[in-house]
Chains A and B, each alone.
Chain A
Amino acid sequence: AQSVAQPEDQVNVAEGNPLTVKCTYSVSGNPYLFWYVQYPNRGLQFLLKYITGDNLVKGSYGFEAEFNKSQTSFHLKKPSALVSDSALYFCAVRPPSGGSYIPTFGRGTSLIVHP
């Protein structure tokens, strides 16, 4: 069975500082990994994904994530946080071919960027 862990319920960071939102996963084989963001009273919005290739993936709004197979992690990062980045962030995993088409989502991490 596949699983995703987001160990932090909340991350606080000052505007202009770098941010990291952590995600670890468990899946058989090579995973397909995704990050989504949810702004208040909105649906989830796709940020970026890792399928294959370069371990560093760049996405929307200046976010990036690094796939680390040995640590089974896919942490979301941004060099300089903005107050407008404050939102709920979800990590998701899907197994490669032959597995379920249903992704497993983490519980979400609330990012709060202070002015």
Chain B
Amino acid sequence: GAGVSQSPSNKVTEKGKDVELRCDPISGHTALYWYRQRLGQGLEFLIYFQGNSAPDKSGLPSDRFSAERTGESVSTLTIQRTQQEDSAVYLCASSPTSGISYEQYFGPGTRLTVT
């Protein structure tokens, strides 16, 4: 079946511009996560959605970052007034239920470059 998809695969933007990244989770997966991976670094948690519950935004690094999810489908991560330090790969992952034993399924990521 289809996996997690993300778009665009690559995004180059000028400093100060806003960007929107999209994630399509696997159908039926209620949990959705966003991570940031800087070059040569591990995964940095950004935000977690679970069904219709309020999202866990504890990982968002600043108020320039926001995310939305429509029900249990598509999610968008928005970065306003981008800075060079925002350059990274942004990964989205989904899980089938809220059961914490379930593994995550990752998308291929969006590589963001801020010039």
Contacts and interface: CB of A to CB of B under 8 A. Distances in A.
Interface of A: 32, 34, 36, 41-46, 49, 51, 90, 94-97, 99, 101-103, 105-108
Contacts, number: 55
A102 B45 CA distance: 8
Contact of B105 (A46, A94, A96): A46
Interface stretch (B13-21, B65-73, B74-82, B93-101): B93-101
Q: Is the interface of B mostly helix, strand, loop or mixed?
A: loop
B48 A101 contact: yes
Contacts of A103: 104
B106 A102 contact: no
A41 to B, nearest CB: 8
A41 B107 CA distance: 11
